[in-house]
Amino acid sequence: MKIAFKMKLLPGMREAYEKRHSEIWPELKNLLMESGISDYSIFLDEETNILFAVQQQNGQSSQDLSSHPMVQKWWAIMKDLMETNLDNSPISKELQMVFHMD
């Protein structure tokens, strides 16, 4: 199953966001993959600073891993770049698919 969700980047944080993701920890990437998450992309709308994420799931979503210590550590590192909840998780809203073409 493919899901999409949106988050919000703080103004002026694009470069830092891209840098941190280009250096994503191999352990975090493995955790996502072992949890059934693949084909994961994040896009930025520069006019609104909205991050648009899409991922293929074959099990859990990245949002389901909130209690994992590695995910919590990642959130703590990313909290200065984006809008977050009190637990440092990104404020995200799941999006509903309205069209798909193979």
Residues labelled as active-site residues? 21
Q: Which helix (H) or strand (E) holds 82?
A: none
**38 vs 50: CA distance, rounded Å:** 21
User: Which residues neighbour 63 within 8 Å (Cβ) at sequence distance 6 or greater?
Assistant: 5, 92
C-beta separation of 54 from 41 below 8 A = yes
